[in-house]
Structure 1
Amino acid sequence: MRKSGALVLQILLVIGFIGFCVAFMLWIQYRWFHPKPLKRVQVPELHKPVSLVLDSSGTGHIYAESENDLIIALGYYAASQRLWEMELMKRAAQGRLSEVFGTATLEFDFYFRNLLLDTLAERLYQNASPASREWCRRYAQGVNRYIIANRERLPVEFRLVQLQPRRWEPRDCFLIQRFVSWLVDTSWKEWSLIRQLHDTLPQQLQKELERIVRPTFLSPLHPGAAPVPKKWWDIDRKFRRWWWGIAYAPRGFAFVYPDTSRNPPPLSMLFLEPLGAPLPFRWLPVHLSGPTIEVAGLTVPGIPGIIVGGNRRIAWGTIHIPSQSTFFQKMPAVESQTESSVPFSMERVQQNIRVGNAVRSRTFFITPRGPTVNLDGGKPDANDTLSVLAWQGWQLSDEIAALRKLFQAQNWEEFQEALTTFQCPSS
């Protein structure tokens, strides 16, 4: 009797222990799926409460009851995670690094002032659709609300250089987009290297090179096409070394689609893999959920959209395709005739850069083809020939509209229609 009683007691203890473990696991799961807010933040720009949940992988899940609130929250969240990168990219694109880092970055500032990205961003913003401008305004509201609420709790990088982040303007979303597009656009390098290689090879090897590369790489893109100025090449290389010496350099992404020649074609599959080109930012993983939006993926800090990701029906990725969208061209320094016998004029632009208590100036000219290259600071006279940068990124387009349409694409036709608004190379 004693043995049987002890056995029953042991069984009851085991059952009780198992029951306790099950109850404990159920409690953990309940707390996991019904967590108490760790922090409540007052964001006056929001019309209704928004929830932000961080999972164990570091992905931010944003739930909002309206599209506008969703984009405001995305801007707030991006600033909370990547404010230093956003400020650094903005300063680089505007040519204002020397205000923080001194003469060490002066040539980088002149390099990007030469691209006139700040002027371009304003033109792009004014040309964008009302819906795209609204997205940029809402995103900027979220970024600025985070800056205002956290002046005393900024990332350590701001304290190290004694810098306060500047107000985020709606047009800065286009500024970051064009800045990233320029850095990943290597067409001018590829064209120049292939041309130089072709011209220095023996005739037999020239023919072999002609066989394996596209014919357009070996033909002038435009009458008057010129080699890349050596100083332009040198400064571009120095900037990349400097940038990725102080910032993490993640890799890009590509997508592979199935061979549609097979009958029947296989199921579509999206495959992402790292590319060789580093990016000037760290991807920010997010999931956005609202009445008309249900999308997840990777976003670029500073841009209100998901570059790599998908919704419930469509998934997308990015890849850089050499498009020969950039080249250099020689033009006279005075008003003259183009090859089509149409007169052109040049707009004079003076750029001033503050370095400590000093101001450094540089003069550029804007031609119908693009800005002139002036990295030496000299002033051309009437007999000089200017090197002009022709970049497709100077064309007016609305990539924010493309991102909005990708969010809501429900089939292949809508997906293709969204892609038609991507006009900038390497977008």
Structure 2
Amino acid sequence: MPAPPPVAQVSGTIVLPGLAAPVRIVRDRWGVPHIYARTPDDLFEAQGFVQAQDRLFQMDLWRRAAQGSLSEVLGANFIERDAMTRRFQYRGDVEGEWASYGPDTKTIATAFVRGINAWVARALEHPPDEFVRAGWKPAFWLPADLLNRTDAFLASGDAIEEVRRSKLHAVVADAIRRVGTPPFFSTMAAPVAADQTATRSDGEAAAARGGSLSFSDAHHNLSHPSFRYIVHLKAPGWNVIGVTSPWLPGVAAGHNERVAWSMTPVDVDTQDIYAESMKGPKTLINDAIIVKGRGDPFLYETEITRHGAVVAFDRANNLEYAVRWSGTEPGAAGELAALAVDRARTWIDFRAALARWKMPARRALYLDVEGNVGFQDAALVPIRRGREWSGWLRTDSLPHGFNPTAGRVSAHGLAGETAAISRQAVFAHVLGTGAAARQRFNIGPVVRPPEDDSPVRAVLEPHDWDRSRAISAPGQSESPGSPHFADLVRLWSNGEYFPLVFSDGAVRANTEATLTLEPQR
């Protein structure tokens, strides 16, 4: 087997065009980058660069899956999936969309993408092993890529439930399920045989007044790399640490200097299905999908009725089925509104920031350094008049509470089906095809932890932030050559955590490597 490609540079100096001043990237013993910048613009350019260093293939694959462009690299099997995914993207005013997240969100996204592209330029010269094996090269990003709706749609599964409840034809559900179908490669590894069953959920969280806030961010399958990335961001106006999606700026759940918070799925109804006459008024949108191995693109139409995108037809009865979803409204890109939450310093700030959070539907738990606890549901929930929508519920109208008598708040994710699981776990990589690739990219089998087997967990301690702890298995890096490719698996298997160091002194005491990003002179 050839030697693994060089891992990302994590020490020394790199010149990064676009910076105004040097940025220091301190990686601790667990692979967490602590980013210290003199301006917010430099901070987020560095965040984009660092996350691309550790997760570029995952980020590139996510973008293709979320935008409906998998056919370009994986072929014609993904045409229907790509077309359906594109039908549920935002089509309104882009400037209004950016403004809905906050006045500086577009600026932050632009800096973040500039950092990603700086690493993409390097990766095009020396492609990481994942791209070589997958058979394509990374592409440059645009800020608008962060406005994607697919993750939020996948988290809003009530349309499928309505198909079942209304006894609609199964073809409607099949069409909806094509949105965001995970990419796959041929001869994927078979799962480990199951030897026990459990009812899985999307995570849970709890906070006690004057105590700690704990959360688990669960998914049904263990994947490699982790669907979360841990990062610490520090610049004027910013000092926040926690978990994010690798392709997004900011932190989705974690803490700043005064406030800790978590985000757990909550069940709200944001989708409706309408049976409409095929002869009714509609807008037709023409689109083209580039398909690997074909000279000409695949041309297709998206039909938009007054309710939403058409997903299926009943030609015998002259009907078409349209899905209305609040995620097509401005401000509903998944988790992008976390940038406002990251800077909350009080309960009032926190709730004001959550008023910008529209998707995915979440129950946010709150705990601050003064011991106050609270919860607030956040989602864009329609007001219904019969079958029609007539506006949106205000944040005050959604469930919330502050310092309840019990002194404790909690959130429990949506329960899934009871499923067979194995005591032995494998963190499976999408490229784990064939014995050699599985050996290179998959991690395991390892023993599952005795209790909570969520790959991402944290306990946040406002009375002493340096006593906080976290886990995001299997590791921070997707590169097999990195020491942080699988270093967190043992801790996860034992049900343990690593210290989520926050203060300058604690970071210095646990420093593994320091990289300085220098502006171009």
Q: TM-score, normalised by structure 1?
A: 0.70
Compared CA separation, residues 121 and 283, structure 1 to 2 (3 A):
farther
Separation in structure 2 between the aligned mates of residue 44 and residue 278 of structure 1, nearest angstrom: 39
- Report if the CA contact (8 A) 1:65-1:290 is conserved: yes
Question: Does residue 425 of structure 1 match 2:365?
Answer: no
Separation in structure 1 between the aligned mates of residue 56 and residue 179 of structure 2, nearest angstrom: 24
Q: Which runs of 5+ in 1 are unaligned?
A: 1-36, 197-224, 259-265, 336-344
1:387 to 321, 325, 331: 321
Question: Does residue 186 of structure 1 match 2:157?
Answer: yes
The structure richer in strand per residue is 2
Question: Does residue 96 of structure 1 match 2:41?
Answer: no
Question: Does residue 229 of structure 1 match 2:199?
Answer: no
How does 1:75-94 map onto structure 2 within 5 Å? 75-94=48-67
For residues 67-101 of structure 1, the C-alpha deviation after alignment (integer angstroms, 9 at most, x for no partner) is 11101100111111111121111111221111101
Tell me the amino acid that sits aligned with residue 156 of structure 2: D
2:282 to 331, 346, 353: 346
Separation in structure 2 between the aligned mates of residue 254 and residue 290 of structure 1, nearest angstrom: 31
For residues 388-408 of structure 1, the C-alpha deviation after alignment (integer angstroms, 9 at most, x for no partner) is 011110111266773232222
Could you say which residue in structure 1 is the equivalent of 2:384? none
- Report if the CA contact (8 A) 1:107-1:235 is conserved: yes
Compared CA separation, residues 236 and 96, structure 1 to 2 (3 A):
closer
Displacement after TM superposition at 1:268 (Å): 5.2
Could you say which residue in structure 1 is the equivalent of 2:351? 416
For residues 283-308 of structure 1, the C-alpha deviation after alignment (integer angstroms, 9 at most, x for no partner) is 11101111211100011122112111
Question: Does residue 371 of structure 1 match 2:305?
Answer: no
Could you say which residue in structure 1 is the equivalent of 2:428? none
Separation in structure 2 between the aligned mates of residue 166 and residue 418 of structure 1, nearest angstrom: 33
Separation in structure 2 between the aligned mates of residue 255 and residue 154 of structure 1, nearest angstrom: 40
Compared CA separation, residues 404 and 243, structure 1 to 2 (3 A):
farther
Separation in structure 2 between the aligned mates of residue 300 and residue 272 of structure 1, nearest angstrom: 16
Separation in structure 2 between the aligned mates of residue 389 and residue 279 of structure 1, nearest angstrom: 31
Separation in structure 1 between the aligned mates of residue 120 and residue 298 of structure 2, nearest angstrom: 30
Could you say which residue in structure 2 is the equivalent of 1:306? 251
Separation in structure 1 between the aligned mates of residue 156 and residue 55 of structure 2, nearest angstrom: 23
Separation in structure 2 between the aligned mates of residue 155 and residue 120 of structure 1, nearest angstrom: 36
Compared CA separation, residues 227 and 417, structure 1 to 2 (3 A):
farther
- Report if the CA contact (8 A) 1:397-1:422 is conserved: yes
Separation in structure 2 between the aligned mates of residue 251 and residue 61 of structure 1, nearest angstrom: 31
- Report if the CA contact (8 A) 2:99-2:105 is conserved: no
Larger Rg, first or second structure (1 or 2): 1
The structure richer in helix per residue is 1
Displacement after TM superposition at 1:420 (Å): 0.9
How does 1:327-346 map onto structure 2 within 5 Å? 327-335=272-280, 345-346=281-282
Displacement after TM superposition at 1:310 (Å): 0.9
Could you say which residue in structure 1 is the equivalent of 2:330? 396
After superposition, the CA RMSD in angstroms is: 3.3
Question: Does residue 131 of structure 1 match 2:76?
Answer: no
Could you say which residue in structure 1 is the equivalent of 2:216? 273
**Structure with more contact order per residue of length (Cα contacts < 8 Å, sep ≥ 6):** 2
Tell me the amino acid that sits aligned with residue 421 of structure 1: R
Tell me the amino acid that sits aligned with residue 405 of structure 1: A
Separation in structure 2 between the aligned mates of residue 279 and residue 69 of structure 1, nearest angstrom: 34
Secondary structure at the aligned position of 2:12 is classed as coil
Question: Does residue 256 of structure 1 match 2:226?
Answer: no
Number of residue pairs the alignment of both structures matches: 338
Tell me the amino acid that sits aligned with residue 61 of structure 2: L
- Report if the CA contact (8 A) 1:323-1:425 is conserved: no
Secondary structure at the aligned position of 2:236 is classed as coil
Separation in structure 2 between the aligned mates of residue 256 and residue 141 of structure 1, nearest angstrom: 37
- Report if the CA contact (8 A) 1:251-1:278 is conserved: no
Separation in structure 1 between the aligned mates of residue 211 and residue 161 of structure 2, nearest angstrom: 32
Separation in structure 2 between the aligned mates of residue 241 and residue 76 of structure 1, nearest angstrom: 25
Q: Which runs of 5+ in 2 are unaligned?
A: 1-9, 192-199, 363-521
1:57 to 1, 26, 30: 30
Structure 1 ranges of 4+ moved more than 3 A: 118-130, 190-196, 225-228, 233-237, 240-246, 250-254, 274-281, 398-402
